[in-house]
Amino acid sequence: MRIMITGVKGRLGGRLAALLAPHHTILGVDLPELDLADPASVSTLVEQAPETIIHCAAWTDVDGCARDPGHALRVNAYGTKHVALACQRLGAALLFVSTNEVFDGQSRVPYREYDAANPINPYGYSKWVAEQIVRELVPQHYIVRTSWLIAHGGHNFVHAILNRAQQGEVLRVVINEIAAPTYNDDLAEAIVRLLVSGHYGTYHLVNAGYVSRWGLARFILDHAGYTGVPIEPIVLAQYPRPSRPPEFSALENSAAALLGITLRPWQEAMLDFLAKEGLLVS
Ligand SMILES: NC(=O)c1ccc[n+]([C@@H]2O[C@H](COP(=O)([O-])OP(=O)(O)OC[C@H]3O[C@@H](n4cnc5c(N)ncnc54)[C@H](OP(=O)(O)O)[C@@H]3O)[C@@H](O)[C@H]2O)c1
């Protein structure tokens, strides 16, 4: 199959390209040759005649999106519209990667795939608009929501916490922001399985379970040899930032599980990640 991957230099796009390359023709695109904010640039994708487009590219800086909501819409929402129109012209399938941040975080139980979205920040809003555009324009679509990606080779929460601990900084981490940490490699494998299933629709692909930012930081420190390092729990209101995250945005995988596609518990995945990074102590 000829598979185009947008955002191929990013965390998920790069991993998907590596997984799919042995069996498919991969057409990887990213900035600067592809700029989602420029319709003309996106329409050139058609020339490469992909049969499927996996659309990972996005402006993922949530605080940047909060500072410039107009640009968030241009890139994440209308950029996705240009990609969807390219799929329409080609008769290609579209897999769009979305986020837990389409939900408002007021639930007390994990969100299912068809629960009502109600984004509370510009990044979440831009991705929610994009989801609706994909549903309107491309019948053969997959929408995959995920959360808190932890990937090798890039900036991530694990290294941020460990760096601060190593530098002897006082750690203060929020306790009332809760979601599912998701190992990038597990997500990429699940997406590949979904892609070959032909079961179009909306999916939640995250490592099973959920935890607060504080609980995740504690887990990382405890398993990387920093058991004695304290972390002060704070609430979101004590950590002012431009974007307001949903408090509880755990996602339940009820749709992909019916196809036999499940991801292991986040604790197992994080231990595997730490081991592969050479950071696991106990
Ligand atoms: N990371 C998470 O925790 C998370 C959670 C939920 C959902 N998601 C979604 O999952 C997908 C993949 O995330 P990721 O973490 O792999 O993202 P990433 O590492 O930030 O990669 C995104 C890629 O898109 C590119 N990009 C940015 N603006 C663009 C534009 N205007 N035109 C074309 N390309 C552009 C980026 O280039 P530059 O690096 O040069 O900007 C980057 O290569 C995204 O759609 C994201 O919204 C991510």
pLDDT tens, 86-100? 999 999 999 999 999
Q: What are phi and psi of 235, to 5 degrees?
A: -105, 165
Provide the CATH number for the domain formed by 2-156+180-209+249-264 in this structure.
3.40.50.720
Q: Closest Cα to residue 129, out of 138, 142, 144, 117?
A: 117
Closest ligand 1 atom to residue 61 Cα is 20
The ranges of the chain with pLDDT < 70 are 282
The DSSP code sequence of 29-61 is E-TTT--TT-HHHHHGGGGG--SEEEE------
Q: Which H helix or E strand runs over 130?
A: helix 122-137
What distance in angstroms lies between residue 71's CA and the mean position of ligand 1's atoms? 14
Q: How far apart are CA 274 and CA 142, in angstroms?
A: 30
Q: Yes or no: say if 6 and 35 are a contact pair by the CB < 8 Å rule.
A: no
Q: Specify the residue with its C-alpha closest to ligand 1, atom 28.
A: 59
Q: Specify the residue with its C-alpha closest to ligand 1, atom 2.
A: 149
Report the pLDDT value the prediction gives residue 223, as an integer from 0 to 100: 98
Domain boundaries, the chain: 2-156+180-209+249-264
pLDDT tens, 94-144? 999 999 999 999 999 999 999 999 999 999 999 999 999 999 999 999 999
What distance in angstroms lies between residue 11's CA and the mean position of ligand 1's atoms? 7
Mutate to test the pocket of ligand 1, among 60, 68, 147, 183 (most ligand atoms within 8 A of CB): 60
Pocket of ligand 1 (CB under 6 A): 7, 9-13, 30-31, 34-37, 56-60, 75, 97, 99, 146-149
Q: How far apart are CA 46 and CA 83, in angstroms?
A: 9
Report the pLDDT value the prediction gives residue 155, as an integer from 0 to 100: 80
Instruction: Report, as residue numbers or ranges, the catalytic residues.
Output: 123
What distance in angstroms lies between residue 100's CA and the mean position of ligand 1's atoms? 15
Report the pLDDT value the prediction gives residue 173, as an integer from 0 to 100: 97
Indicate whether this model's pTM tops 0.95: yes
Q: Closest Cα to residue 102, out of 202, 213, 215?
A: 202
What distance in angstroms lies between residue 147's CA and the mean position of ligand 1's atoms? 13
The DSSP code sequence of 209-274 is S-EEHHHHHHHHHHHTT-TT--EEEE-GGGS--SS---SB--B---SGGGGT----BHHHHHHHHH
Q: How far apart are CA 266 and CA 208, in angstroms?
A: 6
